[in-house]
Structure 1
């Protein structure tokens, strides 16, 4: 029993998936026979061509129209209202302002819309050539024909055609896995994928020569831009949620920073005040860890109760900082737990006009000691979320 389990655990299931796709296509081709397999292969080829043409045209069209869409949205002069917003309003302002301000998101949205429209147009254009294959009449004939087993020659030819279909499907799987491992080389599953012999052969023999150095050189650059934009979109969510600044919090922020003469001094005064006035809410943590109940709270609630967790510290800091004219972000990611690992965490970044740069700070960790306002080792203990 133990040896059987060991043998199963030693199987690379990526190899099984690729090989299984090929074998399934061959068997499917043999069952269908030559003529039905040929029709299926032709349909696959036509759909593949439609997809490729749709992607190319959609990419060109979205790249061309993106600046015009941005200009139109800028002219609308959409401003996030400083009032309590409902769920629909939060969604609206988050999406519209993000599409306006973030080029990769805007390009992605336009690409998806363009691809959906263009693909339908292409299908309608090729429908006169292939549409009759999907009609009820043909389907009825196919079901009637399927009751008759194809002859030996027809089955062999169907199997050969099925082999070509299976190779195409398998290469699509390899291509998708190759893009995944190039995008996310640090994930745990990446070495497992790369250990598959069939994946290695497909990637080495076909994908890499076709793609050249584009995927390995250009995708990491794109990934870094994508990561930065995802963080900006997450930040926009909190901008919308906390757009309203309660008068009491604004007055408190003004009083706390009264002695500050520069952006840095004001940012530090707020950092120390929140870090020493707000206490960490372990009951909230235990409620989530033990019962999976998350208690969402606004910056106003954090200010009133003087209790919260890292995201509450960060949102309160952001609201207070904005009320005195500072530009600030809420950043989510992982924080060092002091035991050799990392756990979910949130902190802030504030822009200092004095030095024209963004600096990180963590008001949650003030009570633990040490300097967490732009220390030199901040990135070693805080990892931004993607």
Structure 2
């Protein structure tokens, strides 16, 4: 579909040849498309920065100047950011950008096109067709960017597994998302997210000969036992003296639970690197790999399950109540299997979300962005 969309303006330009009048209409359409694309990127980017992250600079200042009553309403109805605020910002940007393009066209491009048509009047038909094809390229690029962005937004909110599978397997769609959509609508760092999670988390249920169970830890159910990337949950979160010693040295003894949990999040996120080779092995059902907290700590690398297990082990060493969560994460292209954590903050009497795997993609410690790119949360274990 994307190939056909890209090819259509090129084929049309070749068949109908170069025409100044037609091309002016095409340029006006391209300008509208470009204005639409740029306004979407600006609207989404600024909307996220102001109402989702607002962690620094002018975005933080704008957020702090919004009346408290309005902020409380937006925070309790987070979908309104995408349903109302961002579309309004997109519309305003669109009107301004389109006006600028129209002024530039009347002063520069339109007179140039008239001159080109006078020049081509003496040329043969094939030359005019090639020229028409050449001038169709900007329009083709605009078409494919618009369709890709629409598919990206639809996939974020859609629960259709078949659509998600199609998008995940489309190399063209994935490439455009990674190179254009994700960096512009999020940040340069967010470009790493598609490589951070890529279906690298597998759960396998096998028959268990033993009648033992582990109540409250969800690793066994009756006569079955659940394996996460080839190990049980107890094996995954198992710690040792080295992990415990470092975990206690990372946190401040006099800090509250949230400060301690944040310090552990920072350490795991900044010191553990994503293991792409291991992710590929797990994708191909090769579980002959070391998994869990100790493995990630010793090798300083792992995949989402290892990140989450290490965070569990380090929280337990500091007496912090913690959960390991399984579900799906949106990697900017499609929804894939993922694992993260939740931490209990007794001072606030609530559980907060923590994703150390996404650390390099921005703030994923008790952040509102969790609602946008995490779903299907299930408690695998609690300690």
TM-score of the two chains, using structure 2 as the length reference: 0.39
Compare the two structures and name the one with the higher helix fraction. Answer: 1
> Whose strand proportion is higher, 1 or 2?
2
Give the TM-score taking structure 1 as reference length: 0.39
